Amino acid sequence: MKCAGIVVEYNPFHNGHLYHLQKTVEKTGADCIIAVMSGNFLQRGEPALVSKFSRTKMALAAGVDLVVELPYAFATQKAETFATGAVQILADLGCQYLCFGSESGKIDDFYRTMNFIEQNKELFNRSVQTYMKTGISYPKACSMAFRSLNPTGMMVDLSKPNNILGYHYMKAIKKQHRSITPITIKRIHSDYHENNLSPKGISSATSIRQALFSQTSFPIEAHVPKTTWNELIRFKKEYGTFAHWERYWSFLQYRLLHIRPKDLKNIYEVEEGIEHRLIGMAKEASHFQAFMEKLKTKRYTWTRLQRIITHILTNTTKEEMERRSEKVDYIRILGLNERGRKYLRKYKDSFPTPIISKISSLTEEKIYLDVRAGRTYAFGFDPPFRQQMIQLEYARPPIILESDGRPSIS
């Protein structure tokens, strides 16, 4: 069976994701589509709108055949580490293709950019350090360093979020010596951070989430598949709310006001004395948005700060994260359809990384970081929903969808 892999968050699954999925099938001719999906906390350091199980249902209903989890140690990291874990999982699962969305849409531009940076590696790295000394963030320093090399020809704009991820997927494939063919699909109609819903029906996840949380009723039904809309309604009815950072503020504030600076320094990504600023701003802010606005600096992007805060809430230490992010130790199945089941039955004995269906089947040392992340996510919901979510994290078997069709955008 020919297999194509995609790396997703689906926060939530929308029409743009459906377009990407359908183009993946069209361009690769794959018999099976495998999605490696972030868990309950995402790459930009945010709690997912709905749980990973709910997002798995959305993915399967749209035609993904097998959904597996990108562990917390990779899912909540910078692009390079995020890509490293995702590529390992898809390669270990036997994917011949990795199909990613990008602002560029031209795979040759990615190859040229990757080769150009490799040829100018020392100068590029020195330029990054020079720019960072001015107090700007690492992603911006990388973009400026690249431009300072005066690249010629068709190159990828490395200031764009999907281009950055695509670049790192390709770097990871090369570094890991994986026999995966990368393919890219151009993002259409709406930018990654676009705040307004598009009149063309393909809108950013950011604009869809903002519409959901708006005090005014916005018709988002036209921007997501019907199955996504139904799942959003079901989730809110069952759990009482969608997850967002304000619901975690009291727990975060309590934690910051009851920890010593020297202990906070042990948390992953807490560097350069920011522990004092974190504690100081927690004393002053009355809610999460105000806290972040006080905390943000030119050096620390909103995304990096959210990741730091996520690690504080989950009590993830430097030592623990560095040990767990060296390689993926297991692959957890979140859901599959009949096509996915056939694929696993045929090939699972050849996979180099253990495949598990329930996290309770592993030793606590291996799974504790992911279990802790799941329990932390549950605190964004009121009891008794919280208890239900905590239990699901540890014991829930994969979601099985009997159908394996792929619907069109309505």
Which residues line the annotated binding site for ATP? 7-20, 101, 162, 187-188
Contacts made by residues 206-212, CB under 8 angstroms, sequence distance 24+: 208/12, 208/14, 209/11, 209/12, 209/49, 212/49, 212/242
Per-residue CA distances from 35 to 13, 91, 221, 331 (Å)? 12, 12, 24, 12
Q: Which residue has the tokens 């997912």?
A: 48
Can you say which residues are annotated as belonging to the binding site?
Answer: 7-20, 101, 162, 187-188
Contact 68, 36 (CB under 8 A): yes
Q: Which of 248, 237, 235, 239 is nearest to 377 (CA)?
A: 248
Q: Tally the C-alpha atoms within 13 A of residue 260's C-alpha that lie toward its C-beta.
A: 2
247: closest CA among 97, 396, 376? 376
Q: How many CA atoms does the CB half-sphere of 36 hold within 13 Å?
A: 32
Question: What stretches of 45-131 adopt beta strand conformation (E)?
Answer: 66-70, 97-102
- The residue type of 5 is G
Q: Kindly give, in sequence order, each residue whose CB lies less than 8 Å from that of residue 57, ignoring residues fewer than 6 positions away.
A: 227, 231, 335, 399, 401
Q: Which two tokens stand for residue 39?
A: 């868990």
Give me the phi and psi of 252, to 5 degrees please. Answer: -65, -45
Three-state secondary-structure class, residue 331: strand
1 close to 195: Cβ distance less than 8 angstroms = no
Strand pairing class (331-337; 66-70): antiparallel
| Residue 147 C-beta-side C-alpha neighbours within 13 Å | 10
